[in-house]
């Protein structure tokens, strides 16, 4: 985690860094992620209960609520715990104005004003941005206003529909004349910093997946100089010798072409292994690359041991992580490393080290 955070800093040396730990630190555990990113300048997430938990755990530096507040009742929590919230719609500004009128806020509230530059999820249109900014600026309890946007295609600079340069152009137009600080880049945007230089005016960056050693797309995590932070490991708990024509698992989906040895691994979709992973998905047994065969079941998967005559009950299995990039497994399963990390199930015991 420290190594990957240092990579983010090296890619965007001018910027301060929000370590993003929404979704329980991308499945790594909130407290573990907080400790791993102790050197970050702030932490960003979505969930209010976890933000309060970070304060209880002793996090004193800034905390950014990436989706801001979901109702007027959250404003008091933000003020009490000094949470910096994204403001992305008129309703939120109205709640702030009402809270101000009711004198519910002690001290200053720092905020992020979000612009929709083409992602069309959250944020004000560029032409509505200055007005939203003026409404916030008029509130006496509002402190620093950071201007933010979010990129749709930072992993593919020349995207045919919405290239990153077009989003930056819209951002610059909407934010013209407004003071910073600015915050534009997620992990993929951070990896564009050297290419785009000063055009990407990041005073703060918001890395998530890269801090956990996953690629945001474009290149492999290794090519980006990242190290995996999560290894999902188990063991072989049973072995079956099967003959040509025999099948394996629910639906008998996999059928052996010749005699082969099948290893049964104690890990299934109830652990967060993707159920839709097809035969051929890579798995390491005793450090040797082999493949998934048969359907993923709740508590087990089955793997091909044909090329592993030494494998036996107790042999170590890596589902992803050290030695087997999570992105390779995600690719095979038609998903992304983000989803696999976030879906790690609570029943999986976590060992640190
Ligand atoms: C999740 C999130 C990020 C981090 O994105 P990665 O692709 O994981 O780096 C950054 N900004 C916002 C607003 C987010 O919601």
What backbone torsions phi and psi does residue 307 show, to the nearest 5 degrees?
Answer: -95, 15
Nearest C-alpha to atom 4 of ligand 1 is from which residue? Answer: 208
Contact 186, 208 (CB under 8 A): yes
- Residue 20 Cα to ligand 1 middle (Å): 7
Buried b / exposed e across 166-191, counting CB within 10 Å, b at 16+? ebbebbeebbeeeeebbbbbbbbbbb
Angle at 235 between CA 326 and CA 307, to 5 degrees: 80
**Ligand 1 binding pocket includes 208 (Cβ within 6 Å):** yes
Give residue 302 CA to ligand 1 midpoint distance, Å.
Answer: 34
Evaluated on CA atoms 190, 194, 200, 202, the torsion sign reads: positive
Kindly state the helix (H) or strand (E) to which residue 115 belongs, with its residue range: strand 109-115
3-state secondary structure of 228: coil
For tokens 């703060």, the residue is: 204
| 207 Cα: distance to centroid of ligand 1 (angstroms) | 6
Atom of ligand 1 nearest to the CA of 86: 13
First CA to last CA distance, the chain: 12
With residue 75 as reference, give the H or E element that holds it: helix 73-80
Ligand 1, atom 13: closest residue by C-alpha:
66
pLDDT of residue 69: 97
Of the candidates 72, 67, 105, the residue with the CA atom closest to the CA atom of residue 87: 67
Ligand 1 centroid from CA 282, angstroms: 28
CA distances from 182 to 7, 90, 96, 130, 224 (A): 20, 20, 22, 14, 24
Catalytic residues: 22, 250
Q: Is 115 in the pocket of ligand 1 (CB under 6 A)?
A: no
Q: Is 187 in the pocket of ligand 1 (CB under 6 A)?
A: yes
Per-residue model confidence (pLDDT) at position 74: 95
Note the pLDDT of residue 242.
Answer: 97
Take atom 15 of ligand 1 and give the residue whose Cα is closest. 66
User: Ligand 1 atom 6: the closest Cα is on which residue?
Assistant: 208
Q: What is the DSSP string of 151-173?
A: -S-TTSTT-SS--HHHHHHHHHH
Query: Cα of 45 to ligand 1 centre, how many Å?
Result: 9
Query: Residue 26: phi, psi to the nearest 5?
Result: 45, 45
Q: How many residues does the chain have?
A: 353
Q: What is the pLDDT of residue 174?
A: 98
SS3 at position 67: coil
Cβ–Cβ < 8 Å for 300, 265? yes
Residue owning tokens 């600026």: 137
Helix axes 90-101, 73-80, angle to 10 degrees: 70
pLDDT at 240: 98
Q: How many CB atoms lie within 10 A of CB 329?
A: 24
- DSSP H helices in the chain: 2-11, 22-26, 30-36, 48-56, 73-80, 90-101, 126-137, 164-174, 187-190, 193-196, 326-332, 337-342
pLDDT at residue 157, rounded to an integer: 87
Pocket test for ligand 1, best of 206, 218, 224 (most atoms within 8 A of CB): 206
Q: What is the pLDDT, as a whole number, of residue 353?
A: 76
Q: Which domains does the chain have, with CATH numbers?
A: 2-212 (3.20.20.10), 232-342 (2.40.37.10)
Report pLDDT for 109. 95
Q: Are 87 and 111 in contact (CB under 8 A)?
A: yes
Residue nearest to atom 12 of ligand 1 (CA): 66
What's the CA gap between 81 and 258, in Å, rounded? 63
Please list the ranges in the chain whose pLDDT falls under 50.
none
Does ligand 1 have an atom closer than 6 angstroms to the CB of 149? Answer: no
With the most atoms of ligand 1 within 8 angstroms of its CB, the residue from 208, 210, 338 to mutate is 208
Kindly report the protein residue whose alpha carbon is nearest to atom 1 of ligand 1: 208
């Amino acid at each position: 985690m420290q190594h990957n955070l240092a990579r983010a800093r090296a890619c965007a040396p001018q910027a301060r860094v929000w370590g993003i730990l929404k979704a329980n630190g991308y499945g790594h555990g909130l407290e573990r992620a907080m400790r791993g990113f102790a050197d970050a300048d702030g932490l960003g997430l979505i969930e209010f209960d976890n933000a309060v938990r970070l304060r209880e755990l002793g996090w004193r530096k800034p905390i950014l609520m990436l989706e801001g507040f979901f109702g007027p009742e959250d404003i008091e929590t933000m003020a009490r715990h000094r949470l910096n919230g994204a403001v992305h719609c008129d309703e939120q500004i109205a709640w702030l104005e009402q809270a101000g009128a009711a004198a519910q806020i002690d001290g200053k509230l720092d905020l992020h004003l979000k612009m929709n530059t083409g992602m069309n999820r959250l944020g004000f249109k560029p032409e509505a941005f200055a007005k939203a900014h003026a409404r916030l600026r008029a509130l006496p309890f509002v402190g620093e206003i950071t201007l933010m946007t979010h990129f749709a295609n930072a992993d593919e600079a020349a995207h045919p529909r919405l290239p990153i340069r077009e989003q930056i152009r819209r951002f610059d137009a909407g934010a013209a004349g407004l003071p910073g600080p600015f915050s534009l880049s997620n992990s993929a945007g951070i990896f564009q910093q050297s290419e785009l230089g000063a055009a990407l005016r990041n005073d703060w960056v918001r890395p998530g997946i890269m801090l956990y050693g996953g690629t945001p797309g474009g290149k492999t995590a290794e090519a980006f100089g990242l190290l995996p932070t999560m290894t999902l490991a188990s063991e072989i708990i049973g072995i079956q010798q099967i003959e040509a024509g025999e099948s394996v698992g629910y639906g008998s989906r996999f059928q052996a072409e010749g005699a082969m040895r099948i290893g049964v691994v104690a890990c299934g979709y109830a652990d967060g292994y993707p159920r839709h992973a097809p035969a051929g998905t890579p798995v390491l047994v005793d450090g040797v690359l082999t493949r998934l065969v048969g359907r993923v079941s709740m508590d087990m998967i089955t793997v091909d041991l044909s090329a592993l005559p030494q494998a036996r009950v107790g042999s170590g299995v890596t589902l992803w992580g050290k030695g087997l990039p999570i992105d390779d497994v995600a690719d095979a399963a038609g998903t992304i490393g983000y989803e696999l990390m976030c879906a790690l199930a609570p029943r999986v015991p976590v060992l640190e080290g």
